[in-house]
Amino acid sequence: MASVATTQVFKQDIFAGKVLLCTGGGSGICRGMTEAMVRHGAKAVIVSRSKDKLEQAAREMSQATGGEIIAVAGDVRKPADVENAVKQTVERFGRIDFLINGAAGNFLAPFQNLSYNAFRTVIEIDLLGTFNMTKAAVEHIKQAKGAIINVSATLYYTGTPYQQHAGSAKAAIDALTKHWAVELGPHGVRVNGIAPGPIGNTVGMDKLGLGFEVESIPMQRMGDVQDIAQSTVFLFSEGANWITGVTLVVDGGQWMNPNYIAYPAMVLTPPQGKL
């Protein structure tokens, strides 16, 4: 993935001295979110399972931004791995101000072809992984009076075909966002979500966008990684210091289009094979 050429809408150094921990930060949307934070002064630690790809992403983003980004390989489903990621972050940078829970798994699967294991795997990566990393990092975030962003989705708003596994996980993550906002607010911690719409030039859209029609988006264009990156900078900034418990939908209005039928070609020609 190429570097995200973010427009400097916000002051360049607003996160100077701050530290971001991001799961899933080595690719796709979460890589763009991480890079935007570093471009605005933060240091970052990115976490995912693939060590080689993760370290390459960290090098590329560091070169592109001039900032400091390190990679820590780990599986968010495993408490020992998330605790190690937190430990290495604090040992390297001394603090954790911001957390992005972005690690996720997804694929297209009709109900009849979705195995017990496949459903459980997505729930564990998305939902359990979000809980695990937050549980491991929360005391440091409380000390910093920082903020958390949980990456969500609009899938369950309308019942997107072949996405019940991911939609269920994201619905539960949105619930965690609200619960944590209430419990952590008295500690000075804000917790919000971002629900991206269809984002072009990403592996996720290539995998999941079968039959998607850009005309279904009221804004009449695909989203860009930068759209999510800028929303991330805003929600972590002082400009959002009284916003918590909100899942910000960044989708050009797609989910609420009354004429939109989710992925009509998928209903006519469902994916084949069992998962």
| Active site residues per annotation | 152, 170
Distances (CA, A) of 213 to 88, 172, 207: 43, 28, 15
Q: How far apart are CA 221 and CA 252, in angstroms?
A: 8
Other Cβ atoms less than 10 A from the Cβ of 115: the count is 11
- 3-state class percentages of the chain: helix first, strand second, coil last, to nearest 5: 50, 15, 35
List, in sequence order, every residue forming a beta bridge with 172; answer none if it has no partner: none
Of 194, 164, 165, which is closest to residue 177 (Cα–Cα)?
194
DSSP strands (E only) in 125-218:
147-151, 190-196
Closest CA to 228 of 201, 258, 207: 201
CA–CA separation, 196 vs 239, rounded Å? 20
Q: What is the DSSP letter of 70?
A: E
The C-alpha atoms of residue 225 and residue 32 are separated, in whole angstroms, by 6
CA neighbours closer than 13 Å in the CB half-sphere of residue 149: 32
Residue 98: strand, helix, or coil: strand
